[in-house]
Amino acid sequence: MIRFENISKHNGHRILFMESSAALNRGEKIGLVGPNGAGKTTLFRMITGDDQPDAGQVSVEKQVSIGYFSQDVGEMSGRSAVQEVMDGAGPVSDVAKEMASLEEAMADPSQADQMDTIIERYGEVQARFDELGGYELEGRAREVLAGLSFSQEMMDKDVGALSGGWKMRVALARILLMKPDAMLLDEPSNHLDIESLIWLESFLKGYEGALLMTSHDREFMNRIVNKIIEIDGGALNTYTGNYTFYEQQRALNEKQQQAQFERQQAMLAKEIKFIERFKARASHAAQVQSRVKKLDKIERVEPPKRRQTVMFDFPPAPRSGDDVAVLRNVHKGYGSRSIYQGFDFTIRRKERWCVMGINGAGKSTLLRMVAGADRPDVGSVTVGASVKMGYFSQHAMELLDGDQTIFETLESAFPQAGQGSLRALSGCFGFSGDDVEKRCRVLSGGEKARLVMAMMLFNPPNFLVLDEPTNHLDLDTKQMLITALGAFEGTMLFVSHDRHFLAALSNRVLELTPDGVHQYAGGYTEYVARTGQEAPGLRS
């Protein structure tokens, strides 16, 4: 269906692809993986024709329709969300436009002399519209938007009034409604809550076309894809299986390659030692020459490429008191909307609470109140003795000074710290060499998140309050954060829509529902087993 044949592509002095080949066949669901900057988006753009390889060929079968969702959604305003989604539905949306134009013409007295022709054409277009399922189109559009957590009110609202994250969902809904032969989805899981993610999983499992997608959510990827294409050092490597299989297979391949490399290095060292020892002896000249020729012909085994990964390391923090945070009789609302009424909640040392609830349930509000960034309308929030808090929020990323470099930002935050310790801190969070001179305005979402975490963790806290800490992190960085937080000895209160993160780190669940607040002993995995659902919004 779509083939990459010996493609090569440079980006400035950087090689993205070198004589690489791969294919996307009918019915396949492929996960595209590789480090940031490896060329994943470039590959999508070559399929759509927005970019071209420097050499080789990208071929797409004739008559194959392609839907491409990217993070760059462009301007949207002047129409409702549901109209915007229907407009992207492919041929049926063009037929709908012609129908609307003909309806205007039929109501125009100045076109009376052409009315027979207009009516005849309208009949043809109407039949085609019916054939393409046009009369069910609005219902299907609303169904997709509802799956992505839109309320009826939001569907009918001007899309221009929506936030960037909700506009992303509208752009995604356009592609899903279109149901093309091949779907290209670049990070479709970004900006989605768990309920929307699970609905999208179900939709994509039932989708009969070919799918090529990237995602920083390993659980989402695992449940959908049956093949992985990895971009690695200019090559396209294909693995049959899901993301976990790919990780295991890659680790096995690396282990085997390392063993081969070490065996060959030992053999080469032995041969070179013989040559050095006997090269001056005439009696061994033939043997030496024979071994030199043999070495020249040997194809060298390369050691496996080591991907640079961020290593988070939490220094030990002072011990806090047993009661880390206590909320008593908390009432909180916005305008006429009540979020909490008489809410009591205690967080004790070493507990790791994940907070679950649909959009608007009050998850971030709770974290802000505990962190002191917001106050209850009634009641009290008390942080315990010897508690040293680290608070991560998306808002903190927005407060970075765009004109400052990474290093200047750290120096401003920690004026007493030496340059050496700040450079070491930068390195721990993936900013090495000249990276520290980057200005904050050019940083990606993931880089901003890492910088805010570095600032939060420089003086180690014993209580972490984390609001969607993994939102902009790639798979490798996310795994490193999970590993580090697993070794963290303090207390945690966090919100995340990443199920792998939730399962790995929680030992308590706080569920916010319209029926009230529920507390569960045991982590996210036990919560799912007990409730039979992966998120509160899915419970009947």
Percent of the chain at pLDDT > 90 equals: 54
Q: How far apart are CA 244 and CA 220, in angstroms?
A: 11
- Residue 501 pLDDT > 80: yes
- Residue 88 pLDDT > 80: no
Q: What is the pLDDT of residue 146?
A: 94
- Model confidence at 462, pLDDT cuts 50, 70, 90, reads very high
Nearest to 186 by CA among 352, 277, 68: 68
- Model confidence at 320, pLDDT cuts 50, 70, 90, reads very high
Q: What is the pLDDT of residue 349?
A: 95
The values of phi and psi at residue 434, to 5°, are -75, -10
- Residue 383 pLDDT > 70: yes
- Residue 244 pLDDT > 90: yes
Q: How far apart are CA 26 and CA 209, in angstroms?
A: 6
- Residue 63 pLDDT > 90: no
Give the number of other Cβ atoms within 10 Å of residue 158's Cβ: 14
Q: What is the pLDDT of residue 306?
A: 67
pLDDT in tens, 164-181: 889 999 999 999 998 889
- Model confidence at 286, pLDDT cuts 50, 70, 90, reads confident
- Residue 433 pLDDT > 90: no
- Residue 311 pLDDT > 70: no
Give the number of other Cβ atoms within 10 Å of residue 316's Cβ: 10
Q: How far apart are CA 90 and CA 64, in angstroms?
A: 12
